[in-house]
Structures are given as structure tokens and as C-alpha cells.
Structure 1
Amino acid sequence: MNHEPQSDAPHAEDDVTNPATAAIIAKQNDAFRTSITGSVKLAGVPPGKLVMTAGIAARSDEFRTALIEALVAFDAFDANSDPYGLHEMGVLVVEAERVWFKFDLYDENFEYGAETPTDPARTRRVLTLLFPSEY
């Protein structure tokens, strides 16, 4: 009998420091982040919201468009910026300005932290775009 977890199956503890759990979360974060320009809900993309701070919202349409394009294309995760391999944070440079992105994982009602962050049926993502000065 095979007792190994399946690649996309939630882990009982959902310990984000577990490399297998982190890989599942990273895959889900990447699926959400790279699909945000889609106009329809894509199969396999976990539910969530993209939000931005007032500083980002106040910028030009061109800046925000370039920012979204950079966000979707981002793949520069490394051990310094992504120590657990969750693909939950990154730094983008758009028009010579640094912008951070950050994932937070919530329950189905966006009220509390996700109890089972690898389970897309019970977890909602909030991807925030912000200037470092707004942190």
C-alpha cells in the first residue's frame, strides 16, 4: 500500500516549512499570479483577489499595466527572497521604481488565516501590490 502523499493533496498539518507542502503552495501561488490577466476563471487556478495600495492605485494606467505584466512574468525566486519556497513575495522594478508583491492566505471568508493552505477549496489568496514605503 502506497502511503506517500500525492503532489497536489493537502497535508494533514499543512506545515509550510515542509518542502512538499511549500511546493504545493508555490505551485498554487504561481498559478494565481500568472493567471491574473485572464478574463475568465481558469481551471486549476485557486480563488483569490488582487489588491493594490493607494500609492499603486494612484499611478498611471501605463504604470499599472507594466506592473501587472512584470508580476505575471516574474520568476526570480531565490533562497534569499523565498527561504521556504512558497513563492509568496517578490520585488519588481517598473519605471525604475521598486514594487513588492505579497501573498496572504485566508479562509473561505477572507477573515482568518488559512487552516489548510494547500487546499484551494478552503483557502483564498490575497495578492497585494505595494511600494516598500507603504509597508
Structure 2
Amino acid sequence: MLDTARRAAIARLNDRLRSTGEDGWIFLSAGVAALPNAAKDADMRAVRLFAAFTPDNDLHGEHDCAVVAVEDHRIIWKIDYHPRYRSGADPDPADPATTKRVMTIMLAEEY
């Protein structure tokens, strides 16, 4: 797969997890989990709707991480890749059959 096509495929798969919660796991850090429900909802909505990717915040064009200001705090969300079946083989982020996506949403100060 060509590099640009590969990165676009990875970005689409990352966007799907981020915007729908499908095809992966989403974890909240202890700091985010401790926030009031309204703040957690606002954080999740900000992550789900994030579309302000630029070369400055998305160097590789894979939509795998960003920092977002939400109300009175900043959050970071990050998507990591793991082997889907614990095979020990390196996951291929462009192949959903081999890769389990895991997104963590955390307060910026927890990073």
C-alpha cells in the first residue's frame, strides 16, 4: 500500500474508533473518570467531534492523537495499536483484522 494511501486508511480507522467507539476500546484516565458526568460528557463529545487536524498536530496524517481544550481543562486523547489476538505479532494499523485500537482520554496534566 502506498504511504499516503496507508496513512489515509489508518486515519479512517482511527476516526471510526474516535467518533463512534466501534472497533476498539476507549479508556478514561483516573483524572477524567473523576470529573462530574457533565464534564466527562463534554470531553467525550469534544473527542468524538474533533476535526481540526493540521500538519502541526497530526504530523503523520494518521489522526491518532490531539490536545483539546474543554471548558476549564485540557484533555489529550491518544490511540495506540495492539495485536488483535495476542499473537505477539506486530499489529498493522492499516489492517483492522490484525490490530486492536485502544484510545485513552486523559487530562493534559496526567500525561
Runs of 4+ off more than 4 Å: 110-114
**Aligned partners of 1:53, 1:87: CA distance in 2, in Å?**
20
The answer to whether the 8 Å contact 2:14/2:64 transfers is yes
* Residue aligned with 1:20, SS: helix
Name the CA shift for 1:111/1:88 in 2 (closer, same or farther; >3 Å).
Answer: farther
Task: List gaps (5 residues or longer) in structure 1.
Answer: 1-10, 37-44
Which residue of structure 2 aligns with residue 56 of structure 1? 32
* Residue aligned with 2:68, SS: strand
Aligned pairs (5 A) from 1:1-135: 11=1, 18-36=3-21, 45=22, 47-109=23-85, 114-135=90-111
Task: List gaps (5 residues or longer) in structure 2.
Answer: none
How far did residue 133 of structure 1 move?
1.4
Alignment root-mean-square deviation, CA: 1.9
TM-score when scaled to structure 2? 0.90
1:29-66 deviation per Cα after TM superposition (whole angstroms, max 9, x unaligned): 00111112xxxxxxxx5x21000110011101000011
In structure 2, give the amino acid aligned to 1:22: R
Counting matched residue pairs gives 111
Bigger fraction of residues in helix = 2
| Structure whose CA Rg is larger | 1
* Residue aligned with 1:25, SS: helix
Higher relative contact order (CA 8 A, sep 6+): 2
